[in-house]
Amino acid sequence: MEPHGAQTIMQLRFPLLLALALTCPGALAQTFFVDANMTTGLDDGSSWDNAYQGPLGLQNALLAAGSGSQVYVADGTYVPTTSATRTISIRLENGVAIFGSFQGGESSPDERPPFGTAPSILTADLAGNDGSGMIAENSYHVVSGAGTNATAVLDGFVITGGNANGAGNGNRGGGILCTGISSPTVRNCRFVDNRSTFGGGAGYVNGAPNFTDCSFEDNIGGSYGGAFDIAGSNGVRFDRCYFARNRALRAGAVEIYSTNNAVLSNCVFEDNTVTGSSGGGALWIGSGGSTSLRNLTVIANTATVSAAAGLRVSGSNVSVGNSIFWDNTGPGGSQTAANQILGTTNVTYCIVEGGIAGTGNLATDPAFVDIAGGDFNLTLASPAIDAASNALVPAGILLDFARKTRFVDEPGVPDTGAGAAPLADIGAYEFRSSIGMTDAGCAPNANSTGSPALLSAVGTELIADNDVDITAVQLPANQFGYFLMSQTSASMPVSAGVLCLGSPQFRFSGDILNSMAAGSVEYSPDMNDLPQGQVFQAGETWYFQMWYRDGAVSNFSESLCFTWQ
């Protein structure tokens, strides 16, 4: 097996684009627009109407973009090249921020619809035949971040199809290759179905990139790291990331080799698999260096041969805090502490099945909402609530995996963690009580699903916290709508529904929601940006209701009221 370590950077650049770039008198710092599906306009990237077109639209925009530029990319599929040259990738550039998942027409990234609504897909599938299982011609890497710093931004993309089965750096980092002490910023991206023969199906790192709000699913990492192989790095960070169904010989999801100051926080590791005799089902960390694991939920990972189905540590300084290791399974289905964490490490304020020595550690069932259904939120019965150490939460980390407030006190639950209240919870999710009262005086009508749309909310009714999250369920699928609010209630038939709000009503019509296939939406009203300049005051009661399309008619959900503090 090839020795583990960083290799010399192999420059992957499209020769024709490079030649053009060298003859360009000077790239401009501006916004460029890309739409693979556009067939009209000037094809010069100057506006949505004149966006760069076709599968090479993004590459053409990057050729024109200079430091300080932004590139807006509409939904569609984009490739590194239309040739058969597998060494070509989509290269990130310092000072250039690339934003995907636009529908077209938006004027800023903040106006993009929820991620998944309008996917911008970066694929290594050069022949367009991955659906038939033919990947031999795919590019080695979909994206290259080689030599970049934090000003190189990739935000809002699906990265798929990388097939790193070549030589040298061509055998690692199928999704993204971060060599040359690179440290790009990657946000809101989904890496799926990438592979490598050496390590890091989703990505190979020997720099210090920062991954936030990303998911890594169904990647195959060969020998080292189903999702990521991190080697010789210093300062790599993952926050609010999801790792699922990745597979490799030594680390099902993430391998961290001879790396200093790596930090993984608020991440979920689920259903990853290691197949080697000395591996870790979710994580393998070894050969020196230092790593901090904070507020992780590591659950239902598998080791097919070795014992360590959660974390294996081999000769590294690893600190594990505020994390849950549960239901990670070794050969024979055993559920001992060694299946959760194996190797010398410092574990504190964690829940570990089977028990493990260390301050604040528990071995009690974490009482997830629905472990079989993959809902790892905490129930009120969970021993993880208010049981973490605030000092172990990394500096500047204020949100949990679900992007909700990290430090929330639950009244009635004893503070068993460490620090001044409010105490953080153990695991990736912070527990948040149900809030709001259903307006019993106004009953909603059933919609085309045969049921009425219902509302629930979590968070706090403290205006300053600004963390109310409202969920609507039992909506008709793939319909749009928005929320309204009022200080008075009513019960008035309107179209196929019942309006439960009195006058005046204020509409959050700037936030158009889509129920998607699941028939549900989640909405967090911004207390600092209410409709028509409204401002909540402590002691006021406000009613919220959702209006939505229901085929050819419109309908309303039930109504919730909140008394602000």
Q: Where are the beta strands (DSSP E) in 228-338?
A: 228-231, 237-239, 242-244, 247-248, 254-265, 268-270, 273-274, 283-294, 297-299, 302-303, 311-314, 317-321, 324-326
Count of CB atoms within 10 A of residue 90's CB? 27
pLDDT at residue 125, as a whole number: 96
- Which has the closest alpha carbon to 301: 344, 335, 345, 348? 335
Tens-digit pLDDT string for the chain (565 aa)? 333 333 222 222 233 333 333 334 344 579 999 999 999 999 999 999 999 999 999 999 999 999 999 999 999 999 999 999 999 999 999 999 999 999 999 999 999 998 999 999 999 999 999 998 899 999 999 999 999 999 999 999 999 999 999 999 999 999 999 998 899 999 999 999 999 999 999 999 999 999 999 999 999 999 999 999 999 999 999 999 999 999 999 999 999 999 999 999 999 999 999 999 999 999 999 999 999 999 999 999 999 998 899 999 999 999 999 999 999 999 865 578 999 999 988 999 999 999 999 999 999 999 999 999 999 999 999 999 999 999 999 999 989 999 888 888 888 899 999 999 899 999 999 998 888 889 988 999 999 999 999 988 888 888 988 889 898 889 999 999 999 999 999 999 999 999 999 999 999 988 899 999 989 898 999 999 999 999 999 999 999 999 999 999 999 999 999 999 8
Q: Strand, helix or coil at 332?
A: helix
Give the contacts of 411 (CB within 8 A, at least 6 positions apart): 433
User: Which burial class, exposed, middle or buried, applies to 365 when counting CB atoms under 10 A from its CB (0-12, 13-18, 19+)?
Assistant: middle
What CATH number does the domain located at 434-563 have? 2.60.40
What is the rounded distance in angstroms from the CA atom of residue 173 to the CA atom of residue 194? 8
- Which has the closest alpha carbon to 402: 372, 427, 419, 423? 427
pLDDT at residue 26, as a whole number: 42
**Lookup result for tokens 């990736």:** 428
Q: Name the token pair of 262.
A: 């790596």
* DSSP codes joined into one string, 514-531: E-TTTT-EEE---TTS-G
What is the rounded distance in angstroms from the CA atom of residue 216 to the CA atom of residue 194? 9
Domain ranges of the chain: 17-248, 290-432, 434-563
pLDDT at residue 409, as a whole number: 85
Cβ distance 117 to 101 under 8 Å?
A: yes
Count how many Cα atoms sit within 13 Å of the Cα of residue 217 in the half-sphere of its side chain: 9
531: preceding bond cis by omega (within 30 degrees): no
What is the rounded distance in angstroms from the CA atom of residue 288 to the CA atom of residue 107? 47
